[in-house]
């Protein structure tokens, strides 16, 4: 929702359940801080939040931290994030495990732990939303997932969840945590 303030500027009025976002949109906020707030809003683990920034035709991970150095996703790939960036459309996949996708990033462990540790559980549900600036240019993609060994234990995302993530994406287009990393 937007409304005009006294200076003729457009002011965004957040729904109450998204108000915690205001604390993580300013300077000095890390991608981790932002992810923790998003995880709380969408009732997921912070490791189920992914933010990617578009740089020279490649989507690069800003968060999770451990994926920053694992490479980038070309817009020409079949990856869901690339499709989201190119189509400029938000999408929900409540049957994501059955969607043909590049699962390479799902298999990367967050830390260099024992070789005995099991790999992270696969993504079962996913929302993928483009981050678009005021000039209608895609600057990145945000994805919220629900992981688990079985899809029946991961709650579906709703249309309302997707709408909320679209609001978040609109705010992230100018967020220092997305731009400054």
Residue range 46-107+121-176, CATH number: 3.30.450.40
Rounded to a whole number of angstroms, the CA Rg of the chain reads: 16
DSSP structure string for 42-54: HTS-GGGEEEEEE
Domain extents for the chain?
46-107+121-176
85, 75 in Cβ contact below 8 A?
Answer: yes
Strands 123-132 vs 2-4: parallel, antiparallel or unpaired: unpaired
pLDDT digits (tens, 9 = 90+) for 137-180: 999 999 999 999 888 889 999 999 999 999 999 988 888 777 76
Average pLDDT, the chain: 84
172, 178 in Cβ contact below 8 A?
Answer: yes
Q: What is the pLDDT of residue 146?
A: 95
């Amino acid at each position: 929702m937007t409304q005009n303030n006294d200076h003729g500027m457009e002011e965004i009025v957040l729904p109450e359940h998204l108000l915690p976002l205001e604390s993580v949109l300013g300077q000095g906020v890390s991608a981790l801080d932002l992810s923790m707030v998003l995880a709380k809003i969408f009732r997921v683990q912070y490791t189920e939040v992914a933010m990617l920034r578009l740089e020279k035709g490649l989507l690069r991970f800003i968060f999770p931290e451990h994926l920053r150095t694992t490479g980038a996703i070309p817009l020409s790939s079949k990856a869901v994030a690339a499709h989201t960036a190119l189509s400029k459309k938000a999408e929900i996949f409540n049957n994501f495990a059955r969607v043909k996708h590049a699962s390479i990033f799902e298999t990367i462990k967050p830390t260099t732990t024992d070789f005995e540790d099991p790999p992270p559980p696969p993504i079962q549900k996913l929302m993928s939303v483009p981050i678009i600036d005021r000039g209608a240019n895609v600057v990145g993609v945000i994805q919220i997932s629900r992981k688990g060994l079985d899809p029946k234990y991961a709650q579906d995302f709703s249309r309302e969840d997707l709408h909320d993530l679209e609001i978040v994406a609109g705010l992230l287009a100018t967020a220092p945590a997305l731009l400054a990393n």
